[in-house]
Structure 1
Amino acid sequence: MTLLAVHDLVVARGGLRTVEGVSFSLAPGQALILRGPNGIGKTTLLRTIAGLQPPVGGGIEMAEDAVAYAAHADGLKGALSVAENLAFWAQVFGGGGIEAALSAMALEPLADRPAAALSAGQKRRLGLARLLVARRPLWVLDEPTVSLDAASVLRFADMMRGHLSEGGAALIATHIDLGLDARILDLTPFRAQGITPSRPAGFNEAFA
């Protein structure tokens, strides 16, 4: 069984190709870590796989509604408490409790605090806890440990191991060693050659 299959993928940012010819697959229980220099296109690749922008070429195969995506924006509603934010996202993703998510990132003492009153690290912990209430098999994560202290990184790594052990998969752009049994994909060999603009069908420059 394969949760994600990527074939000769070509992606672009601002109408310019960043990486091309990328192929890999992820089965249940597997994690793949993307590496490469800043600006090579890790974020663009993740956004494309998450369905936030179209690919220029190649193909992406996965089940509908398989992805939970977490990037630099934590997707929080400042006026809602920590618990209310998780309950909101649990409802969006089809229901379920929030207790496991609160516990995983040590958010129980903050459950009644408005998200707007959280520190940067606390907001990141809450944003990552949303992954558990999303109940999606494929986690696509862009630098998930930004703003986390060492203890929170360890908690997140434990959360990741639990997800993988339950048959989930993860695609992660990170330079932090999370202690996972994960493959590494360096995007450097896939850097696009030349600067010829490449616009997919329906490309709108206003949204580049």
Structure 2
Amino acid sequence: MRLSGRGLRCVRGDREVFSGLDFTSVAGEALAVIGPNGSGKTSLLRLIAGLLHPAGGSVELSGGGAELTLPEQAHYLGHRDALKPALSVMENLSFWRDFLGGESGDAAASIARVGLDHATHLPAGFLSAGQRRRLSIARLLSVKRPIWLLDEPTTALDVAGQAVFAGLMREHLADGGLIVAATHAPLGIDARELRIGGTA
């Protein structure tokens, strides 16, 4: 599996965020997108996820599921956790598993992997910021998709949470997955770097 971008140009409002951007990432590899605030790290992830349309250039996936689009083969984990506060931990994860479809894993096992098995029936609104992040990470496990697009994935995680997540990322890569992560902090795994310029 190979994910690549060629000559990508991103315009938001009247501002050109980046142009002429090329990248390539292959199965079993993590690509860390690094740059100052406002340089387009999140915009790049959203372009790959199909949430934004490039003003120029293209994003292509080869070797994936031929009958599926790139967005259907990718998880996008934004810097904000998409959770319903009134729903329990299990209900939130079950919603996302049903909504995303595809090959599903065991929701309870996914919750346990991120260390939230003690909070399964707790409303998400009662969770700390780090626990909410762990629940969002559980979504990556509950529906199997080969591409993980991660925006500041370690935000709010404590040292133990970062170690757990690093282990999950290593497993994903060992299984032939691919990770593209926008980050200011080390991911805790080996990753190639893609530097994006811009103004802070």
Would you call these one fold, judging by a TM-score over 0.5? Answer: yes
3-state SS of paired residue (1:33): strand
Pick one of 109, 132, 137 that aligns with 2:118. Answer: 109
Unaligned runs of 5+ in 2: none
Tell me which residue corresponds to 2:191.
182
Unaligned runs of 5+ in 1: 193-208
Tell me which residue corresponds to 1:45.
44
Tell me which residue corresponds to 2:30.
31
Alignment partner of 1:88 is 2:87:
no
Return the alpha-carbon distance in structure 1 between the equivalents of residues 114 and 185 of structure 2: 18
Tell me which residue corresponds to 1:67.
74
Tell me which residue corresponds to 1:5.
4
Q: Deviations over 1:90-113 (max 9, x none)?
A: 122224311332122101011110
Return the alpha-carbon distance in structure 1 between the equivalents of residues 14 and 109 of structure 2: 41
Return the alpha-carbon distance in structure 2 between the equivalents of residues 149 and 179 of structure 1: 13
Return the alpha-carbon distance in structure 2 between the equivalents of residues 168 and 121 of structure 1: 25
Tell me which residue corresponds to 2:173.
164
Higher Cα radius of gyration? 1
Tell me which residue corresponds to 1:197.
none
3-state SS of paired residue (2:136): helix
Q: Deviations over 1:28-62 (max 9, x none)?
A: 11110011111111111111111111101000112
3-state SS of paired residue (2:157): coil
3-state SS of paired residue (1:161): helix
Aligned length: 189
RMSD between superposed Cα atoms in Å: 1.5
Contact 2:163/2:188, CA 8 A, preserved across alignment: no
Pick one of 95, 99, 106 that aligns with 1:97. Answer: 106
